[in-house]
Amino acid sequence: MVSRYAIVEEPEALEMDDDVYRADLTIEDLSGSTRSLEPILPGPIGLRTIFYDPSWSPKQRNCCLGIAIVVTCCCIAVLIALFVGLGQVISYINRSDRLKASGLYMIPDLDLHDIAVLVYNPAEKFKPAYRAYADEIDQYLAAYRNQSEKWSTTTTDCVENSAVGKNKVCNFDLNWLGPNCTSETDYGYATGSPCVLFTLRSVGRWTPVISEEFLKTLKLVDAHHSNRLFDQNHIPLSCSIAQMGDGDSPPVDEQIFRYFPDSGFNKSFILNHSSLPPLMFVQIIEPHRFAELHVMCQIMTVNIDELEGIHTIEFEYNNPRPESSNEKSTFP
C-alpha cells in the first residue's frame, strides 16, 4: 500500500518569505512607523476637559454648557412628573377604595362571585346556584342582628329631629323588610321572584335634601312610582330595567320591582350617623320570564351629586333557561 505522506528532505523550501509572517522582525525594526501608542488625550477625560478645552472658543463652551443645563432640567422635570403621576395614581386608587366603601351597596355582591352577573332560574336544577346568593344575604343579616343585639343597650329609635350630628346606634326593625324576602323562601329565590338587599353606609357629612316637590316629580316622571309611599323622612330608591339581546321586552305598564320598605331608606339613620346602616329589599318579579335584563338601582335626592360615594348600582341578570315572557305572572 502506498503511503499518503512523504518525508521532506529540505524543510527550508517550506519557509514563508513574505510580509504576512516574519519571525525575525522585532518592535525595534518598526520604530520608523508613524503610529504611536500614546493616548490622544493624556489623563482621564472629565467635564473640565470638555468645557475648558483650550481649543474651544468661549461661544462653544457656553453652548455646550447651555445644552448640559437644558438636558439636566429636562431630566429633573421628567422625574418630577413621574413622581407627581405616581402620587395621583395612588390618590385615585385610595379614593376609589374609599368611594366603594361608602354610599349604596348591594348584597349579594356580584363582584365577589366567579361570574359578576345575577344568574337565576327557579327550577330545582339551578337551586345550588341561587342558594349562594341567598346564603350571602343570610350571612349579612345574621351579622347585622348580632351587631344590633351587641349594642342593644345603646340603640335608640332615631327620628329626624333627634340630636342631629351625634353618633348613635339607630334601631332598625328587620320586620320593616317585609314578608316577601325572608329566609323561609330563600329571599324570594325559591318562589321565582328573587330579592336583593341594599344598604346605605358611610355617607360622611352628606345630608340628604328631600322636598315635597321633588317627590311629586319622581311620581310624575316614572309611573311605576305613582302608588309608592314617599315621604320627606325617607330616601327613595328607584330601580329600572332594560331588555338585552333578543326577546320580548317587559310591558311598559308592568310593575317589575317591589320595595321594602316602600318609602326608601330611613333618613334619620344618616342624620344621626348611625353605626348600623338602614336596609332595603328590592324584589324582582319573575325575571326568569326574560333571557337577559340590565338592572339599574339608584338613590334619589335633590343634592345627590354632593354624595361622595356610590349612589347608583347596575348589574346584569341572566336566565340559564329562558322561558316565554307570555306566561302569566304568578306573583301575588
pLDDT at residue 268 above 70? yes
- Rounded mean pLDDT, 180-196: 92
CA distances for 43 relative to 39, 69, 90, angstroms: 8, 26, 49
For residue 177, being part of any structural domain is answered with yes
pLDDT per position as a tens digit, 218-252: 888 888 888 888 888 899 999 988 776 666 666 66
Q: Are residues 265 and 164 in the same domain?
A: yes
Contacts of 284 (CB under 8 A, 6+ apart): 193, 194, 195, 196, 256, 257, 295, 317
Residue 238 sits in a domain whose CATH number is 2.60.40.1660
pLDDT at residue 12 above 60? no
For residue 300, being part of any structural domain is answered with yes
Q: Are residues 157 and 55 in the same domain?
A: no
Res 45: pLDDT:
45
- Rounded mean pLDDT, 274-288: 88
pTM to 2 decimals? Answer: 0.66
For residue 34, being part of any structural domain is answered with no
- Rounded mean pLDDT, 189-201: 92
pLDDT at residue 207 above 90? no
pLDDT at residue 137 above 80? yes
Q: Are residues 197 and 292 in the same domain?
A: yes
Q: Are residues 84 and 139 in the same domain?
A: no
pLDDT at residue 162 above 50? no
Q: Are residues 259 and 139 in the same domain?
A: yes
Please, which pLDDT band fits residue 288 given cuts at 50, 70 and 90?
A: confident
Q: Are residues 81 and 123 in the same domain?
A: no
For cell 361570574, name the residue.
Answer: 115
pLDDT at residue 97 above 60? no
pLDDT at residue 25 above 90? no
Pairing of strands 237-243, 292-299: antiparallel
Number of domains comprising the chain: 2
Res 27: pLDDT:
55
pLDDT at residue 42 above 70? no
Q: Are residues 164 and 111 in the same domain?
A: yes
Round to whole Å and give the CA distance between 54 and 57: 8
Residue 76, domain extent: 47-93
Phi, psi (5° rounding) for residue 200? -115, 110
For residue 219, being part of any structural domain is answered with yes
